[in-house]
Amino acid sequence: MPRFLTLIRINEQELTTDTEFPPEFLQKMGAYMEEITKAGVMLDTAGLLRTPEGTRVNWSGGKISYTDGPFTETKEVVGGYSLIQCKDKAEALEWTKRFLEIHPAEWNVGAEVREIEEM
């Protein structure tokens, strides 16, 4: 069965360090995580620390460079990920859609779903 990496994209400037998640959001997310895990779809998932804790590593012109966060020139960043195993891309997209719909309507959250190339 194919595996898919889902990259959750957020606008980090919209979130503050004291952002509280609504109780109904946490309840719905907990139920979703339980369902996707029991279905045998979820292989791994996590949120990522904010960009001030990150470092970008680039290779250009035969040299490595490092840029410590925050990455102010970037509006949208990867805020989390999931690794899921589904029968096909349509199923992966359905699980991702359900994940996004749990979030409050006023939030801006996106996802990029990419199938993992099996070697």
Residue 19 pLDDT > 70: no
Taking the alpha carbons of 1, 36, 29, 105 in that order, is the dihedral positive or negative?
positive
CATH of segment(s) 3-115: 3.30.70.1060
Q: What is the pLDDT of residue 43?
A: 98
Encode pLDDT of 61-108 as tens digits. Answer: 999 999 998 877 777 889 999 999 999 999 999 999 999 999 988 888
**Residue of 72, 30, 66, 31 whose CA lies nearest to 50:** 72
Q: Kindly report the average pLDDT of the chain as a whole number.
A: 92
All structural domains of the chain with their residue ranges: 3-115
Residue 95's CB is within 10 A of a number of other CB atoms, namely 21
SS3 content of the chain, % helix, strand, coil (to 5): 30, 35, 35
Q: Is residue 111 helix, strand or coil?
A: strand
Residue 79's CB is within 10 A of a number of other CB atoms, namely 19
